[in-house]
Structure formats: C-alpha cells, structure tokens
Amino acid sequence: MFGKILIANRGEIALRVICACKELGIPTVAVYSEADRYSLHVRFADEAVCIGPARSSESYLNIAAIISAAEITAAEAIHPGYGFLAENPNFAEVCETCKLTFIGPSPEAIRLMGDKNQARKRMAELGLPVLPGTEVLGSEEEALKAAEKIGYPVMVKASAGGGGKGMRIIKSAKELPGLLQMAQNEAEASFGSSDVYLEKYISSPRHIEFQVMADQHGKVIHLGERECTIQRRHQKVVEESPSTQIDAETRKETGGKVIRALNEIGYTNAGTVEFLMDENRNLYFLEMNTRIQVEHPVTEMVTGLDLVKMQIQVAAGLPLPIEGDTVGLRGHAIECRICAENPETFVPSAGKITGFHVPGGTGVRVDTAAYAESIIPPYYDSLIAKLVVHGKDREEAVQRMARALEMFIIEGISTSIPLQEKILADEDFRAGKFDTQFLNRFSRNGVGG
C-alpha cells in the first residue's frame, strides 16, 4: 500500500479522499490555493502545500506545482478526484514519468474515452449500441449532408467536450450553419479544439449510467446503474440508484456488454459508462467518464462498498475483493447536489456561510467541506454539499430526502435547496415520470422559479 497520497483537488471530494485514506491508514497531503487556506481539506490532511493564487489555472490546474508538492512531501501517489485534472491524460503521463502512481485509469484509456467521437466509434466496435452520427466534421457542407441523412433534429457535440459545452440542438437545415459555428467556437474556447460531430438528437431521453471498477489483474465489475435524468443545462441536479426504468434482465445484459468492452480496451480503476434511453427504453452509449463521479455515494449506499477505498487499493495493485462481475443492490438511494446558487435564476452565490446545520438520522449522509463562517469563493464550481439518503425502497428514500432537505440549514448565501424541495414534492417525480426536459417544463409551469 502507498506510504503517502497527495490529493490534487479541493472541497468535498478532497475531504472524501482524505476520509478513505485515514481508514486505510495512509498519510495525506492536501494542496490548496490561496482562496482555500482555511478549508477543511487543508485542516484534516496530514500535510498541506499552497500551490498558487485563487485562479484554478494558477493552482489546481498547475501540473508543475502539483508535482512539486508531491515531490517535496515524498508522496507516492496522486488522487485527482473529479474535475480539474482528473481526466487529463497529460497529467497522468507526467505522474508516471515522475514515478508517481496516478489513482485512475491509464493515460491511453483517458485519451481514448476523452475524445467523445473516438470513444463512440470504439464502443460501437465493441458491441455497445450508439446513436446514428458522424465522424469529426470537415465542413459545413458535410454537416448539412450528414444531418439530412440522419434526420432532424440532430445535436452537434464537441469531440473533446463535456459539461454541456460545445453542444447545440439543430432542428433544421436553416439553423445548422449558425449553430455549428457557435458550437465550434465554444469547443475551441473550452477545450482547445474546435472538432465537432453530429449525433441523432433524442428530444426527451432518460440519462442512465453504469458504475464500473477494474483491477490490474483483468477483472472488471459493474455496480449497477444510476438515474441522472434530472438535469439543468446538462448538469445533474438529482441522482438515484437503481433506476426505475432498468429491470434485472436489462441490468445484466447492459452490464455484461460494458464489462466486455472495458476488458477489451484494458481499462483499470473507476469509471462510469453513460447511456441515453429513448421512449422505447432502448439504451445508447453516450460517453464514458474516466474518474470517480460526483454521484458515486448513491452507488455506495445501495452496494455497501467504499468506491474511493477500492480506487486506492486497485491502484496499489490489489485485486478486487468481489466474486463474480457485480453485486446485489439493496434498497434505494437518492442524492441532491446542494449548490451555492439562486434557486430561480441559478446565478452563483459566493460569500460567507453565517449559519450551517446538516440533517442526520437513519439513512442520511452529507458529503461537504462547508461549515459555519466558511467562505464560498467565486472562483470554483458552485457545489458545496451532497445530501444522500438511503431507504428500503424508492418511496421511503423520497420521503427521507424531503425531510432531510427541510432540515438542512445554510444561511448567508443562496442555495439550490428550495428548488430541490419542489422537485421532491412534484407528483411526476414521485411517480418516476420524468426525462431530461423535466426541469424546463417544471420552470415553465411556475414551480421551479
């Protein structure tokens, strides 16, 4: 096992990794920007190194500073968390060159799956269903011909994309030139590449993902699926496991296809394979995230496994301690992403938290690095806490989440809690009748603001 691990991240995920390391008896190193000097991940790590100013480009994205921090503290491995450098193949390669273990998949796997177009092509070759689409587009004329063949509406997507950037829905040939250019410009600005491709657009899908874990001895397992359909601008708001749309037979069949595909590419460590489900309950490969997910706690709640511990153990060369290729799912779990933002306008809300109380009781978990009098800086993602509940079934989990949201007090800043309380009270949500357009209709009906 590793003698010391550096966490190349901040906030709740950095604290989450520190918790796993403490339980494994591994000393930790926190890195922090000047804006995070008084953060809890700095307080609870065994050592902490300031790596730069508040701007992430000068701190949490500064590969040289992070590697230097690892070297001066004699860390043996680096856990990237999610976001920042977690899916950066160059960072993973630098870690290898510097004799540091990157706690994640290989640079080759990150690079393959990070190119959405190439990932889509490779997964299709390995037996996963994909939506009709194109290779990277070479011209506007090519795009027009391809869109006509696929059939409108289509979606233009950034090949190097993620987080909803470089994406546009195109409903007609008249719209295509302008929206194509906008997507290319946004892709270039966000990812340094203007490469885009077209894909058939499903207007009202469900978003379902399979959690996987793979060791260095050729064993790949899946840990069931998560329902991530409740989204705003392609950002998840509420997640749950299992999905009401996936039965045991579908779970086994799709999980088996995922396992075979990842075995073929030699994948290791944690990952998530994401799918879109159409109105006929057909699943289509969307993308793969080569890291631990924000919503991994819902899988932990229904499996009883610690995925971050498993990541560390797998990276250290240990075999997965699970027989077979999956585990049973127990009960139902739901996660709400509590963000520092106005619940009606979604404008970020930075500032000081003047009052803070987290809910407790049976089946309630809160992952957060916030506390009373802590400062939410304006420089980073607005996520400040993950409220997760577990119940014997979905009905109990929904009721438990509703009361936990009511008992979660955060004062001094605006948060997403009022919106999530309304979602949990909505009849269609409680009945499991929703798709990715749910929040759009929700808002138009005057419920969400």
Catalytic positions are 291
Q: Which residue is associated with the tokens 């393959």?
A: 112
Tokens of 285: 């490969």
3-state secondary structure of 134: coil
125 CB burial (10 A radius; 0-12, 13-18, 19+) = exposed
149-158 as b/e: b if 16+ CB within 10 A: ebeeebbbbb
Question: In this structure, what DSSP letter does residue 423 have?
Answer: H
Task: Check if the beta carbon of residue 207 is closer than 8 Å to that of residue 223.
Answer: no
Angstrom distance (rounded) from CA 188 to CA 115: 14
Phi-psi region of 360 (alpha: psi -120 to 50; beta: other; left: phi over 0): beta
Going by C-alpha positions, the residue among 74, 23, 20, 24 that lies closest to residue 47 is 74
What is the phi/psi pair of residue 196, to 5°? Answer: -135, 160
3-state secondary structure of 402: helix
Angstrom distance (rounded) from CA 166 to CA 191: 9
Cα 317–Cα 318–Cα 320 angle in degrees, nearest 5: 125
Tokens of 209: 């993902």
Phi-psi region of 255 (alpha: psi -120 to 50; beta: other; left: phi over 0): alpha
348 CB burial (10 A radius; 0-12, 13-18, 19+) = middle
Cα 274–Cα 384–Cα 186 angle in degrees, nearest 5: 55
What is the phi/psi pair of residue 49, to 5°? Answer: -130, 125
Angstrom distance (rounded) from CA 18 to CA 308: 10
Going by C-alpha positions, the residue among 17, 4, 5, 13 that lies closest to residue 36 is 13
Task: Check if the beta carbon of residue 74 is closer than 8 Å to that of residue 4.
Answer: yes
Tokens of 139: 């011209």
